[in-house]
Amino acid sequence: MQSIVKLCGDQIVPLITEQMSMNHASANLLLLSRAGFGPSAEDIRKLGIQSPRITYRNLRKASSAQPEYFKVSSNMLDGLVKGIQDVGKMEQLSKEQRAQIRKQSQQDLKSLNLRWIREMVNSPAQLREKMAFFWHGHFACREINIYFQQHLLDIIRRNALGNFGELLREVSKSASMLSFLNNQQNRKQQPNENFAREVMELFTMGRGNYTEQDIKEAARAFTGWGFNLQGEFVFRKNLHDEGVKTVLGRTGNLNGDDVLNILLEERQTARYLAAKIYRFFVNEKADAAKVQWLAERFYKNKYDISVLLEDIFTSDWFYEDNNLGAKIKSPIELMVGIQRILPMEFEQEEVQLLYQRLLGQVLFYPPNVAGWPGGENWIDSSSLMYRLRLPRVLHDDDHFNAKPKDDDDVAMGERMESSQKPLVKHSKATAKGIMNVDINWMAYVSQFAGVDKTNLPAAIASSLLTVGQVNLDTIHAYTEKDSRENYIRSLTIGLMSLPEYQVS
């Protein structure tokens, strides 16, 4: 299948113009790009050898082990908060100590961001990390507290392929979510509805499937749910409303756990989740019949996430031509995918944070409670330029002469007034967006050993582009032909700089 990608206004739109049959190589590339972050260099030779079912079985097996807990909080921060169990006792700290905690927490969040990026790039547990990445957007949380975010990320990664009910319960009792959605202030006779509303609207049923009265009653059920400074869940019984409540037609002295169970009993929760997961992994234009089938299976299997993913990735319809090139890569997917197929080391990893900001997706800093909208929203006239230049920036130590949007949260506390110094110092190269990357080209180039030079363009294209054949004449005219290695290198960067590389 050949795909032309055009810019309509500020949007990138894939146009399918020619059909071709799906072979093992293209099917496996599609699978690895959707169920993971794309093939590694070592995966290239395997693309055409094994069936997609075997590839998926290997992905599932590689993701079966429990993930490592990412602890990046600094010893200095640990020392400042040691022994303070009650959030209210933060007032015992001086103004300078509280400022120091916030500053160090922001710095540690950068470390957590980069630690997870490394895991996405290098971990064989691609299915787990990709599903965790989905849940990171689903349970969007913009909380600047490293303890809370470390814990929430661990919850998501541990439960990414498990049971959605367990995941929902753990996330709902996490300090990150309770703080972000103001449930620490939710108490009897003064209920705060934020948490209850988002649990229904964003986490489970979706907008329009409950009433405002359901939210009010559910908020009463969640009264007393809170946390201590270490991020541990605390039920404050004296703040809980013990009265009778009615939520979605169920009446009783309901508590927060009861409400979550009620939401899981609703088939609409399975439909809402199946549709969202379908749009993320399959096609941004959801097929109603397939979503309904997935939802019924998801509900019948008691919200087993692994079964839902197997239903998707082992189905024949997942590999249909209309799903090729139907997904625009998010900035994280784009950046991680390049690093997987071209093994590389950064002189300063922090420069990746700048590029996340430029491209519009910074881990742990979603734009709002609904997370990143995705799809065509990833592309506008400026971000498309950055995206298309990214491979050459990595290859040539070039840089973007651009300034990210001025958002102090996304900037991780580094926004400056004219009289201030940045909280974190960068080198001149990092500040300018110069990557300074050492790419291990031999690991990549060696995968094409034995491929005749005349067949290299097609072989490389089939390893990079899910949309199939493209017109290589222009790219070929600008490739370096002085050696086989330079030819492969320049051809690869040229293909990665095409609009077609922006979709999977």
Angle at 391 between CA 387 and CA 396, to 5 degrees: 130
Out of 233-242, 260-269, 389-398, which region has the weakest mean confidence (pLDDT)?
389-398
Q: Where are the alpha helices (DSSP H) in 244-350?
A: 256-265, 267-281, 288-300, 305-313, 331-341
Question: Which contiguous run of DSSP H or E holds residue 499?
Answer: none
Strands 233-235 and 245-247: unpaired
pLDDT score, position 7? 43
Mean per-residue pLDDT of the chain: 88
* 452 or 424, which is more confident: 452
- For 130-168, write each residue's pLDDT tens digit: 999 999 999 999 999 999 999 999 999 999 999 999 999
- For 313-344, write each residue's pLDDT tens digit: 999 999 999 999 999 999 999 999 999 999 99
Distance, in Å, from the CA atom of 397 to the CA atom of 429, rounded to the nearest integer, reads: 10
Is pLDDT above 50 for 14? Answer: no
| CA 372 to each of CA 113, 219, 333: distance values in angstroms, whole numbers, following the listed order | 16, 26, 13
The CA-to-CA distance between both ends of the chain, in Å, stands at 13
Is pLDDT above 70 for 395? Answer: yes
**In degrees to the nearest 10, what's the CA dihedral of 481, 484, 490, 491?**
100
Is pLDDT above 60 for 493? Answer: yes
Is pLDDT above 90 for 74? Answer: no
* 337 or 100, which is more confident: 337
Q: Where are the alpha helices (DSSP H) in 22-125?
A: 24-35, 52-62, 75-81, 95-122
Is pLDDT above 70 for 88? Answer: no
Distance, in Å, from the CA atom of 35 to the CA atom of 282, rounded to the nearest integer, reads: 10
Angle at 31 between CA 349 and CA 112, to 5 degrees: 25
Distance, in Å, from the CA atom of 122 to the CA atom of 339, rounded to the nearest integer, reads: 9
- Measured over the CA atoms of residue 492, residue 11, residue 113 and residue 163, the dihedral's sign is negative
pLDDT score, position 421? 38
Report residue 416's pLDDT band, with 50, 70 and 90 as the boundaries.
Answer: very low
Distance, in Å, from the CA atom of 382 to the CA atom of 395, rounded to the nearest integer, reads: 21
- Give one word for 416, left, alpha or beta, with left for phi > 0 and alpha for psi -120 to 50: beta
pLDDT score, position 19? 31
Q: Residues 221-225: what's their mean pLDDT?
A: 98
- For 428-446, write each residue's pLDDT tens digit: 555 555 778 999 999 999 9
Report residue 4's pLDDT band, with 50, 70 and 90 as the boundaries.
Answer: very low
Distance, in Å, from the CA atom of 319 to the CA atom of 7, rounded to the nearest integer, reads: 26
Share of the chain above pLDDT 70, in %: 85
Q: Residues 12-22: what's their mean pLDDT?
A: 36
Tokens 């990390």 belong to residue: 129
Report residue 503's pLDDT band, with 50, 70 and 90 as the boundaries.
Answer: very high
Is pLDDT above 50 for 16? Answer: no
Residue 81 token pair: 């908060």
Share of the chain above pLDDT 90, in %: 73
pLDDT score, position 73? 87
Distance, in Å, from the CA atom of 34 to the CA atom of 50, rounded to the nearest integer, reads: 17
Residue pair 2/465 in contact by the 8 Å Cβ criterion:
no
pLDDT score, position 382? 83
pLDDT score, position 430? 52
Report residue 417's pLDDT band, with 50, 70 and 90 as the boundaries.
Answer: very low
* 398 or 211, which is more confident: 211
Q: Residues 71-86: what's their mean pLDDT?
A: 70
Buried b / exposed e along 147-171 (16+ C-beta atoms within 10 A)? bbbbbbbbbbbbbbbbbbbebbbbb
CB atoms within 10 A of CB 118: 15
pLDDT score, position 228? 86
DSSP per-residue codes, 151-204: HHHHHHHHHTTSBHHHHHHHHHTSHHHHHHTTGGG-BTTB---HHHHHIIIIII
Helix, strand or coil for residue 3?
strand
Is pLDDT above 90 for 311? Answer: yes
Distance, in Å, from the CA atom of 100 to the CA atom of 111, rounded to the nearest integer, reads: 17
Out of 52-66, 92-106, 373-387, 402-416, which region has the weakest mean confidence (pLDDT)?
402-416
Is pLDDT above 80 for 22? Answer: no
Residue 241 token pair: 């409303």
Report residue 92's pLDDT band, with 50, 70 and 90 as the boundaries.
Answer: low
Residue 478, C-beta contacts closer than 8 angstroms, at least 6 positions apart: 490, 494
